[in-house]
């Protein structure tokens, strides 16, 4: 995990200090959040945290809690934002795999709760990255009247995380971001999503295996847009009255067929794909634009795909 310290301001402060940020998870979304904070002058400091060894994780979280508390009590920021962007679980994960992730989440939430109680002078906010696909798999035009319909362990994990956070009686601000299919540059050692895989394999004339149908509808959003919105929440809109749940989506779904043609047009060559129709991951999942928050801005799918293509070319040339 990373603790990100705000930029130092010379001379007497003219405005409230920026909050300290504790970022749990540095995968696809976590790296985007880190980069957005670094772009605002934040300085990242890594702290060890195991995701596989429960007793070790508890000891490390005690160390992290002590470090955060000491910073809040010093001459540094007067607020703390904790961001949960962690998790290895995906749509195909089993109940056993998601159970361990839920335990890790609950330990981090307990850290946030104890920090909020022991530092009443320092506003504490908890920001949870959740999943539209996990909670509403197979639903079209999801809107304010839609309620979650969990179909697999991953969706149950996300629902339980949301419920745990919303049920907390600690004096902390709660924010949940329900995301559609997020894509962006793949961190070193990370898993490539569908669009990144299509570009990567397309540039190398390799076959991409797709679970679904050509007509399957998905709503794709860029990691950088999610990170910008979340960081603004943590740094700029802290303390403002707002609903606890924000749905971040494009509001304009694309079929797999449209996506394939877009990637082919972008990279300038034919894609080779193999469809797997036997697995249950081919249902449409779309979001009504009426559900999107006012401050949310999502770039077009074409713009984002071209940006990812440029990043892939840059990585290939440097590697």
| 46-56 per-position pLDDT tens digit | 999 999 999 99
pLDDT score of 12 more than 60: no
Closest by CA position to 89, among listed 134, 23, 136, 31: 134
Distances (CA, A) of 68 to 80, 87, 123: 8, 22, 13
Q: How many residues appear in the chain?
A: 319
How many Cβ atoms from other residues are within 10 Å of residue 50's Cβ? Answer: 14
pLDDT at 240: 64
Average pLDDT in the 185-211 region?
A: 92
Q: Confidence class of residue 133 from pLDDT cuts 50, 70 and 90?
A: very high
Is the predicted pLDDT of residue 237 greater than 80, yes or no? no
Backbone torsions φ then ψ of 51, nearest 5 degrees: -110, 0
Tokens encoding 73? 């009590």
Higher local confidence (pLDDT), 11 or 297: 297
C-alpha distances (whole Å) from 80 to each of 37, 55, 119, 145, 212 are: 14, 25, 10, 33, 42
pLDDT at 318 over 80: no
Rounded CA-CA distance 202/209 in Å is 12
CB 245 within 8 A of CB 281: no
What digits encode the pLDDT tens for the residues 60-118?
Answer: 999 999 999 999 987 555 799 999 999 989 888 999 999 999 999 999 999 999 999 99
Q: What is the pTM of this model?
A: 0.94
Let me know: does 141 contact 288? Beta carbons within 8 Å: yes
Superfamily of segment(s) 2-184+221-251+286-299: NAD(P)-binding Rossmann-like Domain (3.40.50.720)
Rounded average pLDDT over 239-250? 86
- Return left, alpha or beta for 230; rule: phi > 0 is left, psi -120 to 50 is alpha, else beta: alpha
């Amino acid at each position: 995990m990373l603790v990100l310290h705000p930029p130092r301001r010379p001379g007497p402060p003219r405005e409230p200090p920026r909050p300290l940020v504790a970022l749990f998870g540095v995968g696809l979304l976590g790296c985007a959040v880190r980069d957005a904070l670094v772009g605002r002058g934040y300085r990242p400091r890594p702290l060890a945290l195991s995701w596989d060894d429960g007793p070790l994780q508890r000891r490390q979280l005690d160390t992290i809690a002590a470090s955060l508390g000491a910073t809040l009590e010093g001459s540094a920021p007067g607020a703390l934002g904790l961001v949960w962007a962690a998790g290895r679980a995906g749509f195909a994960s089993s109940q056993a795999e998601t159970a361990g992730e839920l335990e890790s989440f609950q330990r981090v939430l307990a850290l946030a709760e104890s920090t909020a109680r022991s530092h009443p002078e320092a506003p504490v906010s908890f920001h949870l990255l959740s999943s539209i696909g996990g909670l509403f798999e197979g639903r079209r035009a999801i809107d304010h009247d839609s309620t979650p319909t969990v179909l697999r362990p991953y969706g149950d994990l996300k629902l339980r995380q949301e419920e745990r956070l919303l049920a907390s009686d600690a004096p902390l601000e709660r924010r949940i971001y329900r995301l559609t299919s997020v894509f962006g540059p793949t961190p070193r050692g990370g898993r490539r999503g569908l669009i990144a895989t299509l570009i990567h394999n397309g540039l190398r004339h390799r076959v991409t295996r797709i679970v679904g149908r050509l007509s399957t509808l998905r709503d794709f959003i860029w990691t950088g847009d999610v990170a910008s919105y979340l960081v603004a929440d943590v740094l700029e809109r802290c303390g403002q009255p707002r609903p606890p749940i924000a749905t971040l989506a494009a509001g304009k779904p694309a079929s797999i067929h449209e996506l394939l043609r877009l990637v082919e047009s972008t990279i300038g060559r034919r894609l080779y794909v193999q469809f797997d129709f036997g697995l249950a991951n081919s249902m449409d999942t779309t979001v009504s634009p009426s559900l999107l928050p006012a401050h949310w801005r999502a770039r077009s799918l074409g713009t984002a795909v071209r940006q990812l293509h440029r990043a892939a070319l840059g990585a290939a040339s440097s590697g």
